């Protein structure tokens, strides 16, 4: 009972203390860290007190550091370098170790400063960077070079003037969102740390070689670094006509390890030659043998998978547009090579997606062709069946006195129906050749009159000769139009139907009936899409219009009013029709 009463308040106190620490802005920890560092480095105290301040400084650094989030758990392999750096900083009494630590701190502070958008935090990090550079150049570096006879004014300014910068950071406004983790520009921080180290080593080299004072050596080093940076900035983006180091570096990063333009050209050539998506990916990956830093890999798509090269220890996986690529290398990829692999994966993914879409369009076109052919043949068979029903109706209503006329009708109609049925079956085998078959206009007109001679249809022709007509098109359109017109008589007795054929100046076939007009919404979409039908599939005229368009004709509805509904099939070619004598 006593342990519980003691433990509960302790846990509550620890929780409240943790919450208090979490509410402190990173700028406050930074200011306290710099003040502890100043007390450990500048103040002349006992070694034990100095180590205590260094230990407090390192603890405050861990609370401020932007490398690892404060709520994340640190693995043992990451905790070991943390403790090693703390032991080196606290136990080793060396000004060079302190100079190295200040250079690292300056790089971290400068990297975080570049990501600050608010004025207060950005100014705080600039003050901190100024403090670290001043402490390094005015106190630590001279002692590292053995120059212990610093001017008293400089010692007083460093000892009592520099702490004003951390104190100013304490009173600056923190970030608007307390507890937000700072982003880190690693490259900027690394470059800044390296520049500070080069400056320190340059000053040491000038003092050792030229035997000059530290101040003059520092001035010479800064002037030399300024001249070098000015030359590099000019070479990075020059105005003298050549690309510059910036474009050369970018070009190298994009083409490192592989002639990218040559491989992209081979990839485009392969895409034109290979139609199957999976075969394209397999051949494209087999062409990457020039990559010395890629040992092999594996690819996987919706319709197949495969491997290329040899297995290796390290793997990188990318997935784009349904294509998953795993690249295997003998060693971990550098950032430039990782970016390059991602670019290759994305390019392959785009080509693969294009191949899949191309294959899907081919399959849809094939299915559409089957659908069109089936719809056309269905209507042809339906029209033949309608003619057979007409013959059967004539046979049922005939009398013994009509036997001779019925026999003559059967002899004329049945061979034609058999020929039409044979042509319909032949369309399944050779649809293109059947569509292109031609028949003289006079013979086609006589066969049409024979088929509908007992259906009370009036036929009119103007100057019929042997001009060739596309037989399949005219048969299909005429049967569809006449079947629809004759069907109106079932609900509207007495409907008159007439057919007109003209060959000059343009070939045209017109079917007119005196029945009710088609509704406006039906007439508007009659040749553009399938329509609802009570007697069939609703696609007869739609398929006939598409067939007419492929043969150079146009099917239209020029008249659609009560008492006159006219459909016309007309050639769209303005040239004179070919005749046998021409």
Write out the DSSP string of 518-560.
Answer: PPHHHHHTTTTS----SSS-S-HHHHHHHHHHHTTEEEEEEEE
29 and 167 both lie in a single domain: yes
Q: What is the pLDDT of residue 19?
A: 59
Q: Could you tell me the pTM of the whole model?
A: 0.48
Query: What's 51-118 look like in SS3?
Result: HHHHHHHHHHHHHHCCCCCCCCCCCHHHHHHHHHHHHHHHHCCCHHHHHHHHHHHHHHHHHHHCCCCC
Q: Is residue 403 part of a domain?
A: no
Same domain, 460 and 522: yes
Q: How far apart are CA 34 and CA 165, in angstroms?
A: 9
Give me the half-sphere count of Cα atoms (radius 13 Å) on the Cβ side of residue 296: 9
Q: What is the pLDDT of residue 256?
A: 55
What's the whole-number mean pLDDT along residues 83-92? 83
Q: What percent of the chain has pLDDT over 70?
A: 75
Supply the pLDDT for residue 2: 43
Whether residue 191 sits in one domain with residue 65: yes
Per-residue tokens: 294: 């890629």
Q: H-helix or E-strand containing 543?
A: helix 540-550
The Cα–Cα gap between 247 and 256 comes to 14
| Cβ atoms of 420 and 379 closer than 8 Å | no
- Judgement on whether residues 22 and 114 belong to the same structural domain of the protein: yes
Q: Give the residue from 135, 88, 91, 85 showing the smallest Cα distance to 109.
A: 135
302: three-class secondary structure by DSSP: coil
Across the chain, mean pLDDT equals 78
Residue 560 bridge partners (DSSP): 565
- Exposed e or buried b for every residue in 129-141, given b needs 16+ CB within 10 A? bebbbebbbbbbb
Class of residue 222 by CB neighbours under 10 A (exposed 0-12, middle 13-18, buried 19+): middle
251-300 pLDDT, tens digit each = 665 555 555 666 677 778 888 888 888 888 888 887 766 666 778 888 88
* Coil/strand/helix, residue 501: strand
Which has the closest alpha carbon to 26: 76, 64, 68?
64
> Rounded distance, CA 24 to CA 36, Å?
17
Give the span between the Cα atoms of 388 and 420, in whole angstroms: 12
Check: CB of residue 462 under 8 Å from CB of residue 576: no
CB contact set of 396 (below 8 Å; sequence gap of 6+): none
- 401: its two tokens: 């006195």
- How many residues in total does the chain contain? 582
Q: Is 265 left (phi over 0), alpha (psi -120 to 50) or beta?
A: alpha
Residue 569: beta bridge partners? 509, 555
Q: How many domains does the chain have?
A: 3
Please count the other Cβ atoms lying within 10 Å of the Cβ belonging to residue 272: 7
Instruction: Give first-to-last CA distance, the chain, whole Å.
Output: 121
pLDDT at residue 136, rounded to an integer: 92
Residue 537: pLDDT band with limits 50, 70, 90 = very low
- Residue 464 burial by CB count (10 A; 0-12/13-18/19+): exposed, middle or buried? middle
SS3 call for 510: strand
Q: 86 and 58 in one domain?
A: yes
Q: Is the residue at 417 inside a domain?
A: no
For residue 201, what are its two tokens? 């080593």
Could you list the residue range(s) of the whole structural domain that residue 285 is in?
Answer: 254-361
> Alpha-carbon distance 470 to 475, whole Å?
9
Contact 280, 271 (CB under 8 A): yes
Residue 68 clears pLDDT 50, i.e. is over it: yes
Pairwise CA distance, residues 452 & 279, whole Å: 57
Same domain for 204 and 62: yes
Mean pLDDT along residues 444-462: 83
Domain endpoint, select from 305, 327, 361: 361
Q: Is residue 103 over pLDDT 70?
A: yes
Last residue of a domain, one of 236, 266, 294: 236
**CA-based angle 431:433:437, to the nearest 5?**
115
Domain boundary among 361, 389, 415: 361
Query: Residue 148 CB: number of other CB atoms within 10 A?
Result: 7
Cβ count within 10 A of residue 343: 13
Secondary element (H or E) of residue 429: helix 403-429
**Statement to judge: residues 210 and 299 lie in one domain:** no
For residue 350, which of 329, 325, 369 has the smallest C-alpha distance? Answer: 325
Same domain for 260 and 227, yes or no, is no
Which is nearest to 151 in space by CA: 139, 162, 140, 133?
A: 139
Could you tell me what percent of the chain has a pLDDT over 90?
A: 10
Mind listing the pLDDT tens digit for each residue in 119-140?
Answer: 888 889 999 999 999 999 988 9
Tally of CA atoms within 13 A in the half-sphere of 453 that contains its CB: 13
Is 547 inside any structural domain? yes
Nearest-angstrom CA–CA distance, 175 and 152: 39
Q: Is 174 a residue whose pLDDT tops 70?
A: no
The answer on pLDDT for 425 being more than 90 is no
Extract the runs of DSSP E, i.e. beta strands, from 287-415.
296-301, 304-309, 314-320, 323-329
Q: Report yes or no on 186 lying in a domain.
A: yes
Same-domain status, 230 and 322:
no
For 143, residues 6+ apart whose C-beta sits below 8 A from its C-beta are 95
The partner residues of 299 in beta bridges, in order of sequence, read 306, 325
| Residues 6+ away with beta carbon under 8 Å from 295 | 309, 310, 311, 312, 328, 329, 330
Same domain, 47 and 180: yes
Same domain, 211 and 316: no
Whether residue 318 has a cis bond before it, omega within 30° of 0 = no
The answer to whether residue 376 sits within a structural domain is no
Report strand pairing: 438-440 vs 497-502. unpaired
The reported pLDDT for the residue numbered 428 is: 61
Residue 4, pLDDT score: 45
In this predicted structure, what is the pLDDT of residue 262?
A: 65
Residue 424: inside a domain: no
Contact assessment for residue 61 and residue 82, using Cβ atoms and an 8 Å cutoff:
no
Q: Residue 34 pLDDT > 90, yes or no?
A: yes
**Same structural domain for residues 71 and 191?**
yes
* Res. 35: pLDDT tops 90: yes
Residue 382 lies in a domain: no
Does position 46 have pLDDT exceeding 80, yes or no? yes
Angstrom distance (rounded) from CA 520 to CA 531: 12
- 416 lies in some domain: no
Rounded distance between C-alpha atoms, residue 501 and residue 441, angstroms: 9
Task: Residue 501: give its domain's CATH number.
Answer: 3.30.565.10
**And the tokens for 536?**
């069939």
Check: CB of residue 378 under 8 Å from CB of residue 537.
yes
């Amino acid at each position: 009972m006593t342990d519980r009463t003691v433990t509960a308040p302790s846990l509550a106190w620890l929780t409240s203390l943790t919450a208090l620490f979490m509410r402190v802005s990173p700028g406050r920890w930074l200011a306290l860290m710099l003040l502890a560092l100043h007390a450990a480095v500048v103040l002349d105290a006992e070694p034990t007190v100095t180590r205590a301040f260094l230990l407090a400084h390192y603890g405050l650094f861990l609370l401020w550091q932007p490398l690892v989030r404060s709520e994340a758990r640190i693995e043992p392999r990451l905790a070991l370098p943390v403790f090693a750096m703390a032991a080196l900083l606290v136990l080793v009494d060396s000004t060079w170790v302190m100079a190295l630590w200040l250079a690292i701190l300056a790089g971290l502070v400068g990297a975080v400063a570049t990501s600050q958008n608010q004025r207060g935090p950005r100014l705080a990090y600039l003050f901190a960077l100024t403090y670290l550079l001043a402490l390094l150049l005015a106190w630590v570096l001279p002692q590292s070079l053995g120059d212990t006879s610093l001017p008293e004014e400089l010692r007083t300014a460093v000892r009592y003037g520099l702490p004003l910068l951390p104190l100013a950071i304490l009173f600056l406004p923190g970030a608007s969102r307390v507890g937000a983790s700072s982003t880190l520009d690693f490259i900027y921080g690394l470059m800044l740390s390296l520049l500070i180290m080069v400056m320190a080593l340059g000053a040491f080299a000038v003092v050792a070689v030229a035997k000059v004072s530290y101040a003059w050596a520092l001035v010479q080093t800064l002037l030399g670094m300024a001249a070098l940076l000015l030359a590099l900035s000019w070479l990075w983006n020059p105005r003298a006509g050549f690309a510059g180091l910036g474009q050369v570096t970018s070009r190298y990063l994009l083409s490192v390890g592989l002639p990218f333009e040559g491989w992209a050209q081979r990839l485009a050539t392969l895409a034109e030659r290979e139609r199957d998506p999976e075969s394209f990916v397999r051949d494209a990956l087999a062409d990457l043998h020039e990559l010395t830093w890629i040992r092999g890999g594996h690819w996987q798509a919706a319709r197949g998978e495969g491997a290329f090269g040899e297995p290796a220890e390290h793997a990188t996986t990318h997935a784009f547009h349904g294509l998953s690529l795993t690249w295997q290398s003998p060693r971990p990829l550098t950032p430039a090579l990782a970016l390059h692999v991602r670019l290759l994966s994305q390019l392959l993914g785009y080509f693969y997606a294009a191949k899949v879409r191309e294959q899907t369009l081919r399959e849809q076109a094939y299915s559409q062709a089957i659908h069109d052919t089936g719809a056309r043949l269905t209507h042809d068979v339906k029209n033949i069946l309608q003619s057979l029903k007409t013959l059967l109706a004539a046979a049922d209503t005939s009398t013994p006195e009509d036997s001779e006329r019925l026999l003559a009708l059967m002899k004329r109609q049945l061979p034609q129906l058999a020929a039409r049925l044979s042509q319909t079956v032949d369309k399944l085998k050779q649809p293109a050749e059947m569509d292109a078959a031609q028949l003289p206009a006079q013979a086609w007109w006589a066969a049409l009159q024979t088929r509908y001679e007992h259906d009370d249809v009036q036929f009119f022709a103007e100057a019929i000769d042997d001009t060739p007509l596309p037989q399949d098109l005219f048969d299909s359109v005429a049967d569809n139009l006449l079947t629809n017109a004759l069907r109106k008589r079932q609900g509207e007795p007495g409907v008159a139907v007439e057919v007109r054929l003209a060959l000059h100046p343009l070939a045209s076939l017109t079917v007119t009936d005196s029945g009710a007009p088609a509704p406006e919404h039906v007439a508007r979409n009659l040749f553009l899409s399938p329509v609802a039908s009570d007697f069939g599939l609703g696609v007869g005229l739609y398929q006939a219009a598409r067939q007419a368009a492929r043969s150079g004709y146009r099917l239209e509805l020029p008249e659609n009013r009560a008492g006159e509904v006219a459909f016309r099939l007309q050639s769209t070619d303005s040239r004179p029709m070919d005749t046998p004598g021409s």
